[in-house]
């Protein structure tokens, strides 16, 4: 079973334990959804909206079947870094919106999220130019502040038993430790489900509408940042039926085929010998 510890980083940077009977885990996919947790008989002790601290970690749809995983990509561009800084101080200038478009494209890192970057750009483009005093014109006020390019999700505190229930249902995922920051500024080390390389697609695909709907509903139910919800809303989806081979071309698939071939050869050799 997955091993790891969880805790929080205090003012001095020390790792504080979360207790031996509870686990901190960061959800970014279908586990955001209340119905998903209910079907898995998982009860949440506490929940806090949060973001992944590392800006180079992106949400991508590269798990077998088109499911989500996290992937560390290139370091953020200066434009992306400017978007993060602008989001932190609440700036809503049009220049920040343009920077966030670059961050949105980096966060997508593929076909599925490439469409989402367009949505992030549109949301940022709605930001008004500010006058010299820093006040926005009322008719150009943006609906959302610009997407900051980071992965948003929810930090759950679960019993160790319930975390094991989730682990058993997360086929093809492994557990990693990752720093996340709650919306109120506290940094924690959480356990995160990330694709096992054997179940990871070589290229990103478009998620199915049914799957992404679970993520969107979970993001709304947990009051994730509206700019991130706008990012999710802009991701292009495909129907769940009739997925192409590109959704299943992972190393595990070919290892399965190889295993069947070996078994068949052993079986034939056994019959020929008798």
Question: Measured between alpha carbons, how far is residue 188 from residues 26, 183, 230 in Å?
Answer: 10, 12, 26
pLDDT confidence of 197, banded at 50, 70, 90? very high
120-155 pLDDT, tens digit per residue, is: 444 444 444 444 444 444 445 455 568 889 999 999
The CATH topology of domain 20-73+148-273 is: Hypothetical upf0131 protein ytfp (3.10.490)
Question: Measured between alpha carbons, how far is residue 67 from residues 54, 83, 212, 226 in Å?
Answer: 21, 27, 9, 22
Q: Which stretch of 120-124, 165-169, 201-205, 240-244 has the lowest confidence by average pLDDT? A: 120-124
Residue 258 to residue 274: CA distance in whole angstroms: 25
Residue 218 to residue 229: CA distance in whole angstroms: 10
Residue 88 to residue 99: CA distance in whole angstroms: 14
78-95 pLDDT, tens digit per residue, is: 444 444 444 444 444 433
Chain centre to alpha carbon of residue 12: 28
Q: Give the SS3 label for residue 274.
A: coil
Give domain limits for the chain: 20-73+148-273
Q: Which two tokens stand for residue 248?
A: 């299943």
pLDDT confidence of 117, banded at 50, 70, 90? very low
Residue with the two structure tokens 């091993």: 3
Q: Which residues are catalytic?
A: 170
Q: Are strands 46-52 and 67-72 parallel, antiparallel or unpaired?
A: unpaired
């Amino acid at each position: 079973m997955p091993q790891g510890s969880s805790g929080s980083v205090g003012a001095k940077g020390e790792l504080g334990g979360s207790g031996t009977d509870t686990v901190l885990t960061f959800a970014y996919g279908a586990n955001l959804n209340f119905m998903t947790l209910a079907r898995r008989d998982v009860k949440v002790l506490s929940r806090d909206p949060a973001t992944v601290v590392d800006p180079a970690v992106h949400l991508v749809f590269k798990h077998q079947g088109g499911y989500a995983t996290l992937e560390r990509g290139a370091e953020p561009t200066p434009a992306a870094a400017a978007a993060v800084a602008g989001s932190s101080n609440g700036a809503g200038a049009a220049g920040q919106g343009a920077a966030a478009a670059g961050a949105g494209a980096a966060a997508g890192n593929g076909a599925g999220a490439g469409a989402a970057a367009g949505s992030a750009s549109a949301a940022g483009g709605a930001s008004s130019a500010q006058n010299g005093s820093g006040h926005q014109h009322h008719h150009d006020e943006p609906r959302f502040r610009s997407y900051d390019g980071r992965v948003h999700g929810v930090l759950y505190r679960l019993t160790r038993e319930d975390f094991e229930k989730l682990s058993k249902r997360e086929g093809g995922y492994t557990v990693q430790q990752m720093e996340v920051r709650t919306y109120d500024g506290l940094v924690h080390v959480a356990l995160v489900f990330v694709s096992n390389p054997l179940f990871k697609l070589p290229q990103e695909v478009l998620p199915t509408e049914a799957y992404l709907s679970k993520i969107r509903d979970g993001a709304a139910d947990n009051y994730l940042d509206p700019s991130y919800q706008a990012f999710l809303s802009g991701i292009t989806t495909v129907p769940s039926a009739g997925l192409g081979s590109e959704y299943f071309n992972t190393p595990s698939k070919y290892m399965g085929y190889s295993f069947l071939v070996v078994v068949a050869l052993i079986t034939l050799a056994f019959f020929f010998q008798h």
